[in-house]
Amino acid sequence: MSGVAMLSLGVATGIFLVAASALRAYAMQGQLWMILTSLALYAAGNLVMVRVMRDSGMAVAISVSAVLQLALATLVAVVFFAERPTGLQWGGIALGAVAVAMILWPTGRAG
Amino acid at 25: A
Percentage of the chain with pLDDT > 70? 96
37-42: long-range contacts at Cβ-Cβ below 8 A with a sequence spacing of 24 or more? Answer: 41/15, 41/16, 42/15, 42/16
- Tell me: the pLDDT tens digits for 22-75? 998 898 898 999 999 999 999 999 999 999 999 988 988 888 888 888 888 888
Contacts of 52 (CB under 8 A, 6+ apart): 1, 5, 8, 9, 12, 61, 65
Contacts of 88 (CB under 8 A, 6+ apart): none
pLDDT band at 109 (very low <50, low <70, confident <90, very high): low
Compare 25 and 1 and report the one with higher pLDDT.
25
pLDDT of residue 111 exceeding 60: no
pLDDT band at 11 (very low <50, low <70, confident <90, very high): very high
pTM higher than the cut 0.85: no
CA–chain centroid gap for 37, Å, is 17
Helix (H, G, I), strand (E, B) or coil at 57: coil
What integer best gives the mean pLDDT of the chain?
88
36-19-55-2 Cα dihedral, nearest 10 degrees: 150
Residue 105: per-residue pLDDT? 81
Percentage of the chain with pLDDT > 90? 42
